[in-house]
Amino acid sequence: MKIKQMLNRFYVEDIEVSIDFYEKILNEKCKLRFKYPQEDLELAQIGNILILAGSNEALKPFRETQATFLVDSVVDFRNFLLNNGATIIHDLKAVPTGMNMTVKHLDGTIVEYVEHH
């Protein structure tokens, strides 16, 4: 089990403005961008920032999630987390980049775990 990268989540309405700003401030190019039509969102990654863009209504169910952990095996993390007192909020499901789940840690922190395919 390995966490490959931890991403800070930023919730915005205008993804173009945010991508332009964070590319400049981080001096990095956007390396991942995709639409998530099932949730009416568009996502982009620049460095360790994950931008989630959509209307306030579309973003509402995601705002409590504080970080995204990119992992080597979401299934292995699921088993570990369940055996260590975490609570699964949204169980394993297919997403445009692979598979994810949302978990509440013992301290109340809510984290999305993602395994890219």
Q: What is the pLDDT of residue 19?
A: 98
State the greatest distance between any 2 C-alpha atoms of the chain, in Å, as a whole number.
Answer: 42
The better pLDDT of the pair 97, 29 is held by: 29
Residue 44, both tokens: 């982009």
Structure confidence by residue, pLDDT tens digits, 65-117: 999 999 999 999 999 999 999 999 999 999 989 999 999 999 999 999 999 99
**Cα 21 to Cα 74: distance, rounded to the nearest angstrom:** 31
> Whole-structure pTM over 0.75, yes or no?
yes
Q: What is the pLDDT of residue 68?
A: 97
Amino acid (one-letter) located at 91: D
Could you give all domains of the chain from N- to C-terminal order, each with its CATH number?
3-116 (3.10.180.10)
Name the strand (E) or helix (H) holding 83.
Answer: helix 74-83
Mean pLDDT of the chain: 96
| Confidence at 59, pLDDT banded by 50, 70, 90 | very high
Q: Are 42 and 15 in contact (CB under 8 A)?
A: yes
Q: In what order do the strands lie in the sheet with 67-71?
A: 32-36, 41-46, 49-53, 3-12, 67-71, 110-116, 98-104, 87-95
